[in-house]
Amino acid sequence: HAVGSQVGEVLLYYCYCEVRDPEKLCAWQKALCQHLHLTGKVRVASEGINGTVGGSKVATNLYIKVMLSQPLFKNILCQEDFKSSSGGAHCFPDLRVGVFKEIVPMGIDPKIVSYKETGIHLSPQEFHREVEQYLSQATQGQSDTILLDCRNFYESKIGHFQGCLAPDIRKFSYFPSYIDENLELFKDKRVLMYCTGGIRCERGSAYLRSKAVCREVYQLKGGIHKYLEEFPDGFYRGKLFVFDDRYAICSNEDIISACRYCGVLWDQYKLCSSQHCRQLVLTCPSCCNKGLTACCPVCQEKELKVTSRASGQTLKEECECTRRRSRVPVEHVSPRMLDTGK
């Protein structure tokens, strides 16, 4: 790789629309990405398309042009819908384009809970004003609003909006059960939801609305990505987790999480060093140097056993981190008690 080839960008986008022939769209999309030497992941379904792709600036610009001229997305997808950050093809190991049931895996049939029943979209400016108001009311202990992070715990751990409720869930497919288990919490509340690029809120807000307990459901249009473009020093503190080899992108200097082992401020993820585990771990350079590179003691021990046994096969298994975490947490806080400070 010449250095020049590394300077490109990563695009994140989605489009909900009716796709009559997902297989055909999938083949076209694959050919397009290969032609432009883009890597990344694209999910196609009868409900639309969701992609995150990386390549040279020339390639990503062409990609946007072609996507906007594709008849399927005409008048639905627009330039604004593409979120970009610096990166390139090297941010992904390969290109994966496939047909799925949902373009974001919530685990609920799109026919049952549709993106058409979504919450009210707020622009970054509107959302910013709402959060500002929420924080000032919450400090006086009189808020009727919940600021809800729809992402997974390892995402919100390294960056989130001040005063948010961040569910301790490992996958978005646990989100519906989380809502079910905590319905009381949302009763008669105004809910402000947000996620990385907006897509999880589209179905998540529809699911929450289908329960008919909230007063209103709002969501951040374009997600944290678009918010940070306008308010790099706003109410979102810390890094933004991304699902590629970068793990996080930075907009302010705040570090809000700590090393798992020594507690020093640290927010750069590494994969657990144990071959059978896919967990992410926060371990600072000095703990890494001491050989503390796994997500938990069980993994650390297994790793030593496996290395001494040197068996070729690797099995994916759950370690104690995952087993000890209740799959769907029940909140015992009144939202009033949420930490609204920095």
Quick one: 159 and 217 in the same domain? yes
CB 200, CB 194: distance < 8 Å: no
Residue 205 lies in a domain: yes
For residues 31 and 1, what is the distance between their CA atoms, to the nearest angstrom? 23
* Last residue of one domain, picked from the residues 69, 99, 129: 99
CB 88, CB 55: distance < 8 Å: yes
Residue 43, both tokens: 């999910």
Residue 214 lies in a domain: yes
Task: Please identify every residue annotated as catalytic.
Answer: 195
Q: Which pLDDT belongs to residue 333?
A: 57
Residue 332 lies in a domain: no
Q: Which pLDDT belongs to residue 3?
A: 42
Q: Which pLDDT belongs to residue 317?
A: 60
* Last residue of one domain, picked from the residues 222, 247, 272: 247
Sign of the CA dihedral with 330 first, then 335, 336, and 339 last? positive
* Residue 59: HSE in the Cβ half-sphere, 13 Å Cα cutoff: 22
Residue 179 lies in a domain: yes
User: In tens digits, what is the pLDDT along the chain, a chain of 342 residues?
Assistant: 444 445 799 999 999 999 999 999 999 999 999 999 999 999 999 999 999 999 999 999 999 999 999 999 988 999 999 999 999 999 999 999 999 999 999 999 988 998 889 999 999 999 999 999 999 987 777 789 999 999 999 999 999 999 999 999 999 999 999 999 999 999 999 999 999 999 999 999 999 999 999 999 999 999 999 999 999 999 999 999 999 999 999 988 899 999 999 999 999 999 998 887 878 999 999 999 999 999 888 888 877 666 555 555 555 566 777 777 777 878 875 544 454 443
Amino acid residing at 76: I
Q: Which pLDDT belongs to residue 341?
A: 44
Quick one: 52 and 131 in the same domain? no
Q: Which residues contact 20 (CB under 8 A, 6 or more apart)?
A: 46
Quick one: 208 and 283 in the same domain? no
Quick one: 263 and 150 in the same domain? no
Residue 32 lies in a domain: yes
Quick one: 71 and 147 in the same domain? no
Quick one: 235 and 134 in the same domain? yes
For residues 92 and 114, what is the distance between their CA atoms, to the nearest angstrom? 30
CA distances from 28 to 52, 67, 114, 322 (A): 16, 11, 25, 38
CB 100, CB 43: distance < 8 Å: yes
Residue 231 lies in a domain: yes
Q: How many domains does the chain have?
A: 3
Residue 269 lies in a domain: yes
Residue 29 lies in a domain: yes
For residues 81 and 48, what is the distance between their CA atoms, to the nearest angstrom? 14
For residues 234 and 160, what is the distance between their CA atoms, to the nearest angstrom? 11
Please work out, in degrees rounded to the nearest 5, the angle formed at the alpha carbon of residue 300 by the alpha carbons of 279 and 175.
20
CATH code for the domain in which residue 176 is found: 3.40.250.10
Task: List beta partners, residue 56.
Answer: 8
Residue 277 sits in which domain range? 258-307+317-323
Quick one: 225 and 270 in the same domain? no
Amino acid residing at 229: E
Q: Which pLDDT belongs to residue 319?
A: 77
CB 173, CB 107: distance < 8 Å: yes
Q: Which pLDDT belongs to residue 308?
A: 55
Backbone angles phi, psi at 233, to 5 degrees: -115, 35
* Residue 55: HSE in the Cβ half-sphere, 13 Å Cα cutoff: 21
Q: How many CB atoms lie within 10 A of CB 157?
A: 21
* Last residue of one domain, picked from the residues 228, 247, 266: 247
Alpha-carbon Rg for the chain, nearest whole angstrom, is: 21
Four-point Cα dihedral 303, 249, 153, 96, nearest 10:
-70
Quick one: 228 and 271 in the same domain? no
pTM of the model: 0.87
- What DSSP element (H or E) covers 299? helix 297-309
DSSP class of residue 336? G
Quick one: 61 and 12 in the same domain? yes
Quick one: 129 and 152 in the same domain? yes
CATH code for the domain in which residue 29 is found: 3.30.70.100
Quick one: 36 and 82 in the same domain? yes
Residue 144, both tokens: 């009727």
Residue with structure tokens 């288990």? 181
Quick one: 36 and 77 in the same domain? yes
